[in-house]
Amino acid sequence: MTSYLYTALWAILAFYMLYLAIKENRLFLAAFVFFLFMAVWSLLDAFLSVNMFSGVYGIIYRSVAGVFLVLFVVGYVIYKRKNR
């Protein structure tokens, strides 16, 4: 039951980031893709009998999250330096 709650949370955050990307800054578009990835991953974990957060799938999940974290930090630093 909680996996559906997490899926809904990630999906709501994804579409809020899409709204912010259209309204504010394109950096939020990367956040939209990331949160959409999280929502789909959580939904797959809920429906499949495979644990998507452990083993090879867990490594893929953490790797994608790490890449997006680096992208967010670099994008934020570039944005802040440009708007000083």
Per-residue confidence (pLDDT) for residue 28, from 0 to 100: 87
Per-residue confidence (pLDDT) for residue 25, from 0 to 100: 81
Contact assessment for residue 51 and residue 59, using Cβ atoms and an 8 Å cutoff: no
Share of the chain above pLDDT 90, in %: 65
Per-residue confidence (pLDDT) for residue 66, from 0 to 100: 96
Per-residue confidence (pLDDT) for residue 13, from 0 to 100: 94
pTM of the model: 0.86
Residues 73 and 75: their CA atoms lie apart, in Å, by 5
Residues of the chain falling short of pLDDT 70: none
Per-residue confidence (pLDDT) for residue 40, from 0 to 100: 94
Residues 22 and 68: their CA atoms lie apart, in Å, by 20
Per-residue confidence (pLDDT) for residue 15, from 0 to 100: 95
Per-residue confidence (pLDDT) for residue 44, from 0 to 100: 93
Tell me phi and psi for residue 51, to 5 degrees: -75, 110
Q: Specify the residue for token string 């680096």.
A: 70
